[in-house]
Amino acid sequence: SPFGTSGSRWPMMIIDAQVHIWAPETPEKPYAKGNASEPHRPIPLGHEELLREMDGSGVHRCVLVPLKWEADRNDTSLEAARLHPDRFAVMGRLKINAPETRALVATWKNQPHMLGVRMVFNRGRSREWLEDGTADWFWEAAERYDVPVMAFAPGAVPKLAAIAERHSGLRMIIDHMGLSTALRGKPLDSAVDDLIKMVRLPNVAVKVSALPCYVEEAYPFPTLHPLIHRVVDAFGPQRCFWGTDLSHLPCSYRQAVTLFTEELGFLSATDKEWIMGRGIGGWLNWPSEDRTI
């Protein structure tokens, strides 16, 4: 198989650590306005199309990450997971600046198919929330109730490092290797330097995700190879989680898979097993009933 094997009797489990799906805009569920964000494409990516893409590319499971234009709702992703619990689970959105949401963290994981929370601090007021105290309550609550967090804060990775160090029981995943689309086509080494400074924190893992979005070159994206090598060497394959951000991808889904399974010669078969699915399955406590991951 082009997707490799784990050395066990099961094919290697491949879990995409980040895919956005969303529903069409309706009067009952209008898109959020004024947040400097537009849908990635004019036709929504729904779960049925995603399943076809997954089946065509050898991807067994996806972590669904709701989007800001659906106004902090998680219903589209949770419904997909309800219909296909063997294929989907959710890292949901939570409105961090709304006092009424604080009570939700204690029972967050009681929601069927909900694995944790994904936080975005990348533009406008959301960037300020890391600095002005708005987000402070959340890190304490997520640590207390063992709610894993994916954090996207390009340009603020050192701040995330300080949070993870202060909350040593908090399971934090740094999205997209800490990269920003503002760096597309530019040197990425300094951003990776900031990320690697977090390696000493055992409660921090990394999504090696959406990486083709940050370079202006064709598959197999040679500029990315030494950067991935540095990150995997530093954190180890057990703390590096493959993902695509499919609706953003400048390449095919299959190429996003084979970039890791075929093009990165420095990865062993065991490395690939961890990076492509086993690691995130364990980190987010998303066990498999029919496979060993």
The per-residue DSSP string of 88-135 comes to: EEEEE---TT-GGGGGGGGGGGGSTTEEEEEEE--STHHHHTTTSSTT
Bridge partners of residue 15, in order along the sequence: 61
Q: What is the pLDDT of residues 38-70, one digit of tens each?
A: 667 778 999 999 999 999 999 999 999 998 766
> Would you state the pLDDT for residue 292?
39
What local confidence, expressed as pLDDT, does residue 204 receive?
98
Kindly state the average pLDDT of the residues 71-93: 94
Strand locations in the chain (E): 15-19, 61-64, 88-92, 114-120, 149-152, 172-174, 204-209, 240-243
Across 109-113, 133-137, 196-200, 242-246, least confident range: 133-137
Do residues 273 and 7 touch, judged by C-beta distance below 8 A?
A: yes
If one counts every other C-beta atom within 10 angstroms of the C-beta of residue 60, the result is 22
Mean pLDDT of 275-292: 84
- Residue 266: Cβ within 10 Å count: 11
Rounded to 5 degrees, φ, ψ at 182 are -65, -20
Least trusted range by pLDDT, from 14-28, 143-157, 247-261, 271-285: 14-28
pLDDT exceeds 70 at position 154: yes
Binned at pLDDT 50, 70 and 90, residue 27 comes out as: confident
Name the band, by pLDDT with cuts 50, 70 and 90, for residue 206: very high
List, for residues 101-118, the tens digit of each pLDDT value: 999 999 999 999 999 999
Q: Which pTM value belongs to this model?
A: 0.92
pLDDT number for residue 50: 98
Closest to 229 in 3D by CA, of 282, 192, 269? 192
State how far the Cα of 261 lies from the Cα of 223, in Å rounded to an integer.
Answer: 17
- Check residues 292 and 17 and name the one with the higher pLDDT: 17
Alpha helices by DSSP H, listed for 115-204, are 125-128, 136-144, 157-166, 189-196
Q: How confident is the model at residue 73 (pLDDT cuts 50, 70, 90)?
A: confident
Of 68, 78, 152, 151, which is closest to residue 115 (Cα–Cα)? 78
More reliable by pLDDT, 134 or 16: 16
H helix and E strand count, the chain? 10, 8
